[in-house]
Amino acid sequence: MILRMSHRTSPVDLAGMPPGIPYIIGNEAAERFSFYGMRTILVVFMAQYLALMDGHGGRPMSGTQAVEYYHQFASWVYFTPLAGALIADIFLGKYRTILWLSIVYCFGHGALACMGSFGNSKGWLLAGLLLICIGSGGIKPCVSAHVGDQFGKRNYQLIPRIYNWFYFSINFGSFFSTLLTPWLLEHYGPHWAFGVPGVLMAIATFMFWLGRHRFVHIPPSGLGFFREVFSREGMIALGKLAPLFVFIAVFWSLYDQTGSSWVLQAEQMDLKFMGITWLESQVQAVNPILILVFIPLFTFIIYPAIDRSFPLTPMRKIGIGMALMAVSFGLTTLIQTWIDAGQRPSIGWQILAFVLITASEVMVSIVGLEFAYTQAPKAMKSWVMSLFWLSVWGGNQFTAQVNHSIAIASPAEEQFEQATRKLPPDWQSSPRSIVLPGYSTSLDDDVMARCENGRLDGIEIPGREVYLTAAMKIEANAANNFPNSISGQALLAGAKDLWGNSLAYDLIDSSHARISSAGPDRILKTQWDQGILLEKINASTSPAPDTWLTRRKAALGIVEKTSNSGFSSTEFIGGQTKLEGAAYFRFFTWLVLAATIVFIPFAWLYRPKAYLHE
């Protein structure tokens, strides 16, 4: 494909900023508003809203499942850059690749906005996320490389500054979307919350098209791309960068949990801070506003101050950033330890963790992006950018697989779905009780599923009287708060289930406690563990807030939990997690700490070599 003559194919010979930069920065701000607005609410949407989008409503997704699916999506968004880079570097060039895939991106947001309107919401969710993966991921390496392509030898010294401004625009857009979209979801529901980011993506695409005659359009390399990739110089460059990208993958494995496990942690904290009551997903807005402050702070004050006594190479910055990441996750581990003990710490503690993780981001992500571009041979810029983003895929895949491996399935829910397929068509019109098979036909362990308005309203576990008696003991000693794990276990001393297993008591947080046993298979932490989840119900008689969720539940006939005793109980089989509470955060803290230690000798041995366009 031949480029029009009005398009520049080489950088302008000037010492200042290239003319196409304002269009790239404006496009990136709008596109990031779109992406982060959608991603900010994804975990909360899947855990609280998705089950209510169709028909009679269903069982909500567990927190562990929501985290797993969130990181699966986040990972594949950063895998598709490989395809986008190949299309750009070999066939279309960066500009056309960005423009056409941006249109695909817009269709993805449109699919998300259709959830609950017609068709199956889970199908629309899958289609929307798939299209966003293709669109957002495909343009990602091209946009970051397109920025660098605008510079020549006279103004190449401005590249670090423009990458800072590029990152500034990312966080400028994400700050406003992180505040706005949770509010839209809370009050106006998923259609508006996903629709508004879609409109911003359409605006971003239009802004990029407006700058078409201002940009430098580096032509695609065609087969020359392969010659450079497999040349001795290309292989050496990739071989040097590959280990760096593995270390950066560890960073992303932890960093992207600010949108998943940190959101779920915030739900268990006191969300009032500095006179503001935050929504749990709005706390993420702290990150982009800190970025806006930290970029000039680090560029003009912190880096020069440190550099006077300790020369700051890019590799040293990345190493310091990874150490800060370990400290930030160590703090979240401490926060979760307080929550596990039944306390409700201030969200200010998590905001402090955001300060640390944002400083880490400045020193790992921004520096890594700039460094990867300069270390890439000229015909491989988009390809190397895609490999940098592939580290995000690797990190999120690791987190997703960890959450998948620690999740314990619930056989009752799976069997319920199978049983309802065999019922007559009118089964949803009246209350029903369905007997579900237990662990073994030789044991008296069948489960009773209670249905209301076509949904699983709850289950009754075998031998439930033992658990109900144990729950009464706990509630009798929980006038103000649930007893701690040691005191609660003492109250249940000698209590056993039908199969001779001792009952275990666990304090989950200030509002929840769990009584459980190993169940009929007599093995702990399997899908046959069973018990009762206790919840402390707020005794306030004030009316429920007017939110989309309350209106939707009222429309579906779902009655909120109430209790004269101040407690409610939910019986369960399986559905738990093998790594919960502080142990989960502690695992990732040790992971990044070990990676930081191994990174030190790698950084010392690395020998940089920069490649810039003429």
SS3 per-residue string spanning 200-217: HHHHHHHHHHHCCCCCEC
- Residue 483 pLDDT level (bands cut at 50, 70, 90): very high
| For residue 330, pLDDT beyond 50 | yes
Contact indicator for 306, 583 with CB cutoff of 8 Å: no
Contact indicator for 478, 491 with CB cutoff of 8 Å: no
- Residue 5 pLDDT level (bands cut at 50, 70, 90): very low
Amino acid at 172: F
| For residue 235, pLDDT beyond 60 | yes
The span from the CA of 530 to the CA of 573, in Å, is 4
Contact indicator for 173, 30 with CB cutoff of 8 Å: yes
Please choose, from the candidates 449, 456, 439, 458, the residue with its C-alpha nearest in 3D space to the C-alpha of residue 498.
Answer: 439
Residue corresponding to tokens 């981001």? 361
Global pTM? 0.84
Confidence (pLDDT) at 540: 52
Other CB atoms within 10 A of residue 274 CB: 9
Q: What is the DSSP string of 30-65?
A: HHHHHHHHHHHTHHHIIIIIGGGSSTT--PPPPHHH
Show the tokens assigned to 15: 């010492």
Other CB atoms within 10 A of residue 557 CB: 11
Helix axes 232-255, 347-361, angle to 10 degrees: 170
| For residue 417, pLDDT beyond 80 | no
Confidence (pLDDT) at 24: 77
SS3 392: helix
Q: Which is more confidently placed, 485 or 159?
A: 485
The span from the CA of 386 to the CA of 383, in Å, is 5
Confidence (pLDDT) at 55: 64
Q: In what order do the strands lie in the sheet with 455-460?
A: 432-436, 447-452, 455-460
Other CB atoms within 10 A of residue 611 CB: 16
Residue 458: beta bridge partners? 450
Q: Running DSSP on this structure, what letter comes out for residue 525?
A: S
Domains and CATH numbers, the chain: 21-407+583-605 (1.20.1250.20), 411-573 (no CATH)
Please tell me the least confidently modeled range out of 85-94, 162-171, 393-402, 406-415: 162-171
At 176, phi and psi to the nearest 5?
-70, -35
